[in-house]
Amino acid sequence: MFTNYLKIALRTIWKQKAHSSINVIGLSVAFASAILLFLAAQFELSYDQFHQNRERIHRLSLKEVHTDRVEYGTNMPIPMMPMLRANYPGQIQYATRFEESDGQIVRNGRIWNGDVDYVDADFLRMFSFPMAKGDARTALNNLNDLVLNEQVAQAVFGENEPVGQLLSLNLNGVKKAFVVRGVMRNAPASSTLENEVLIRFENFPEYQSSRDQWNWRTHDVYVQLANGVRAETFEKQMVPFVKKQYAEDIAQARRQGAQPDERGEFVSLRLTNLSDVHFDRVNDHRAVDRTYPRVLLGVSLLIMLIAGINFVNLSIARSLNRAKEVGMRKALGALRQQIIGQFSGEALLICSIALITGLLLVVVLLPRYNAIFNGHLSFAQLQQPGIWLGLLVSFTLISLLTGVYPAWLASRFNAVEVLKGKVGRGGRVGGVRNTLIVLQFAVSVLLIGCTLVVWRQMNYLRDKPLGYDQTQVISIPVGYETNGYRLLTYLRNQLADQPQILDITGSDINLGRGKDGASSKSKYSFTLDEKKYQTNALNIDYDYVETLGLKLVAGRTLSRQFPSDSAKSCLINESMVRHMGVKDPIGMIIPIEGGKTVVGVVNDYHFASLHDQIEPITLFFNKPFGLSYIFVRVAATNPASTMALLERTYRTMAPNSQFQGSFLNENVNNQYKREQRLATVFVTAAWLAILLSCVGLFAIALISIQARTKEIGVRKVLGASVPNIVALLSKDFLKLVVIGIVIATPLAWWAMNQWLADFAYRIDVSWWVFALAGLLAIGIALLTVSFQSIKAALMNPVKSLRSE
């Protein structure tokens, strides 16, 4: 019986090549797209899931309630972690500070440049980075201990034994000696924390000077709670600790009239579970909004929905054309379940061919997908049992949903009526088909509308004035070999007579995200006139305002003509003036780093991304921070030769380092890679949705017009014109498209407003965007249907009526 069904199915598929090809191609593309998007979503959701104790590991964040705002931050003061360990020994099993930096190792002609992380001894005891060599419990016990991963060990030591070896680590131009105590396995791509090189936190440059300071926050703190300790319970237990350490801040918040939060707290420590850190946008430029993997999954389902609708519609149409076959089978004694089995088997066979083809497409497209979306998908993901189980379940559901209804419909045909040619094409069948077409185009319009909104927002982010010069300023990471101040002085001296070099300066923090991928903030809190304030801090050098093209609103800039500026003066932005509530800040002393006198006010400029409102910032000289970036303002002529000149000059100071110069407009665009990936997903999905919808509509229109061939012939004989016939054949389909537009527009408007809420600076969602999306859908549908309609209208009526 099965063999007979298979033969009939193969024969039917071969006989109806066009119909079968449309189904196989549509489903194959849909399967491939859905699998790729599903793998991308699964990768994002798998972050940090390899850590064995992830349910008990949490990152600290500090919540502060002010009169005009609520602030969250993950940056912690240096004494926070040891004080917590001392106060809660029974609740905290392990704890570590974590500060990302970079460094360079040069050993026997081998050079390595990369990430160096400052951590505490508990780091390897908490996190599941398996050791290839050494003992995780003792590898970081001493201050000069160093642990590296296999990739770095191979780069530095080759095939030689690394453990026990002495090496020199170059940290921002300062060399320190360390002993290799262990080698870790390389971290998975789905790891929030890097693990290239680990050294003790006490080696952090500002550790000694700031080990007792609570007003300067620099790093993350992770704690692993003891067995049986719940995060919610521990947050409540930390309330007395917070009240003691932040008593002055809490008192000031009360005096200023701030209202406590829902827990009755002005300052509180909160815990974010490790599984949620990847999606926690607080102070983390690499975090991903949790909606992103949901969007990927949603788009993959929508694409499969459209392809499935095509399959169902075409199967229904074909089942009507095969009505006489069904009638003959029933007349010869075929049971209803046998007919259902036959038609369902054909659907299953087509779905199987499409799934195999789709998997082959995934294998072919995976490298290209990773390149476009900056992804880390691999063939190993496809080999996971969970992925195969998900594919099997999805395939089974799709096969059942797309195959059973057409099969059930065909099985209901009355044999006598079928053989008399009385099977109708309207009624419930037409209603189901029309409903599916409406749903199909609603999805298409939804994706087109979302694409247009994302595209407009991306253009807005790229084009919005940021308050500084993006186009003619080059940002150069200092690197690991040399000191930032030495490099700045050298560049100034060497390039002083070059006409294309206009200004040079430096700072400790970049603007945007450069080629080194780093992005950070430094914040200070201080009390002035019994009020608590907080400011971003930026260490700069002379000519910063001039090089970046900032505007002075009041006062003057930091100048070599005033020797005290290098130690006692600062600049603030307009937001800082408003934050302090003063009219004339010039001459005020801000009590940070021994006291800084305000000598000038610069315009508000976007030193962070447009996701955030412009915050208060203070610019001053602070040599212990160091200079990590050099900024060079250049002439507009011949930028390529200017960049080459800078690279040659840089390499004379740092021959073993990679030159990573980039224009600031590139850095700004790099801040929005996540949004660019989302835009690419929407654009691709919208094109696929429209393509699949049009293929399905084309096939349905073809079948419908073929069924009305004689009607068209009669109308032409009675004098109907070609435009009349085209309008007659097209209007029913266009009505369905319009209904889809009406359904999709409010959904797209709501979805895009939810997405845009993540931006402090955003476009308005205009009505014309969705009107344009609807017009595009109508135009595409009209072209699709009109092609067949015109062809049918131009047909010689003699041919259409010949068989009458």
pLDDT tens for each residue of 25-80: 878 888 888 888 888 888 888 889 999 999 999 999 999 888 877 888 888 999 99
Is 75 strand, coil or helix? coil
Paired strand residues for 507 = 540, 629
Least confident residue range of 491-495, 572-576, 788-792: 788-792
Highest-confidence segment of 18-32, 472-486, 723-737: 472-486
Q: Which range (102-116, 468-482, 558-572) has the least confidence?
A: 102-116
Mean pLDDT of 467-486: 88
For 266-280, how does the pLDDT look when each residue is reduced to its tens digit (9 = 90+)?
999 999 999 999 888
What is the model's pLDDT at position 804?
47
Band of the pLDDT at 545, cuts 50, 70, 90?
Answer: very high
- Segment 744-762 shows an average pLDDT of 86
Q: What is the pLDDT of residue 181?
A: 95
Residue 67 CA, distance from chain mean position: 33
> Do 646 and 490 contact (CB within 8 A), yes or no?
no
**Residue 57 contacts residue 222 (beta carbons within 8 Å):** yes
The residues, any chain, with a CB within 8 Å of residue 158's CB and separated by 6 or more, are 110
* Tens digit of each residue's pLDDT (9 = 90 or more) over 210-231: 888 888 888 899 999 999 999 9
Q: Give the pLDDT confidence score for residue 788 in this predicted structure.
A: 67
pTM for this prediction: 0.75
| CA pair distance 230, 237, nearest whole angstrom | 11
pLDDT at 426: 47
Residue 440's contacts (CB-CB under 8 Å, 6 or more residues apart) are 305, 306, 309, 310, 693, 696, 697, 740
Residue 723, judged by CB atoms within 10 A of its CB (0-12, 13-18, 19+), counts as exposed
Contact criterion met (CB below 8 Å) for 96 and 120? yes
Tell me the angle at which helices 427-463 and 291-321 cross, rounded to the nearest 10 degrees: 150
- The residue whose two tokens read 């680990």 is 198
> How many CB atoms lie under 10 A from the CB of residue 344?
24
Cβ pair 348, 8 in contact under 8 A: no
Mean pLDDT, rounded, for 585-599: 92
Q: What is residue 333's predicted lDDT score, i.e. its pLDDT?
A: 58
Confidence of residue 399 (pLDDT cuts 50, 70, 90): confident
* Gap between the Cα atoms of 169 and 400, Å rounded: 61
Q: Which H or E element spans position 525?
A: strand 523-528
Q: How confident is the model at residue 728 (pLDDT cuts 50, 70, 90)?
A: confident
Q: What average pLDDT does range 749-755 have in this prediction?
A: 87
Better pLDDT: 269 or 680: 269
* Confidence grade of residue 782 (pLDDT, cut at 50, 70, 90): confident
Residue 773 reports pLDDT greater than 90: no
60 contacts 258 by C-beta, under 8 angstroms: no
Tell which phi-psi region holds residue 414, choosing left (phi > 0), alpha (psi between -120 and 50) or beta. beta
Q: How confident is the model at residue 495 (pLDDT cuts 50, 70, 90)?
A: very high
Residue 60 half-sphere exposure toward CB, CA atoms < 13 A: 29
Confidence of residue 10 (pLDDT cuts 50, 70, 90): low
Count Cβ atoms below 10 Å from residue 121 Cβ, excluding itself. Answer: 19
- How far apart (Å, rounded) are the C-alpha atoms in residues 81 and 790? 76
Confidence band for 340, pLDDT divided at 50, 70 and 90 = low
Share of the chain above pLDDT 90, in %: 34
Paired tokens of 764: 């308005």
- Residue 600: phi and psi, rounded to 5, are -160, 155
| pLDDT value for 419 | 47
Longest Cα separation, the chain:
106
How many Å apart are CA 683 and CA 237, to the nearest integer?
49
441 CB neighbour count, 10 Å cutoff: 33
Q: Which residue has the higher pLDDT, 178 or 319?
A: 178
Residue 414 confidence (pLDDT) above 60: no
pLDDT band at 17; cut points 50, 70, 90? low
Per-residue pLDDT tens digits for 623-639: 878 898 999 999 988 88
Helix (H, G, I), strand (E, B) or coil at 258: coil
Q: Which residue type, as a one-letter code, is found at position 411?
A: S
Do 585 and 632 contact (CB within 8 A), yes or no?
Answer: no
Q: Is a pLDDT exceeding 50 seen at residue 110?
A: yes
User: pLDDT confidence of 524, banded at 50, 70, 90?
Assistant: confident
Average pLDDT in the chain: 83
pLDDT at residue 427, as a whole number: 45
Select the more confidently predicted residue: 52 or 208. Answer: 52
Quick one: pLDDT at residue 34? 84
Residues 6 or more apart whose Cβ sits within 8 Å of residue 380: none
Query: Which one is predicted more confidently, 732 or 50?
Result: 50
Nearest CA among 121, 141, 211, 204 for reference residue 169: 204
Residue 157 CA to residue 651 CA, distance in Å, equals 25
How far is it, in rounded angstroms, from Cα 148 to Cα 178?
11
Which DSSP helix (H) or strand (E) runs through 115? strand 110-119
> What pLDDT is attached to residue 398?
73
Question: Which class for 476: exposed (0-12), middle (13-18), buried (19 or more C-beta within 10 A)?
Answer: buried
d(CA 347, CA 20): 10
pLDDT, average across residues 4-24: 64
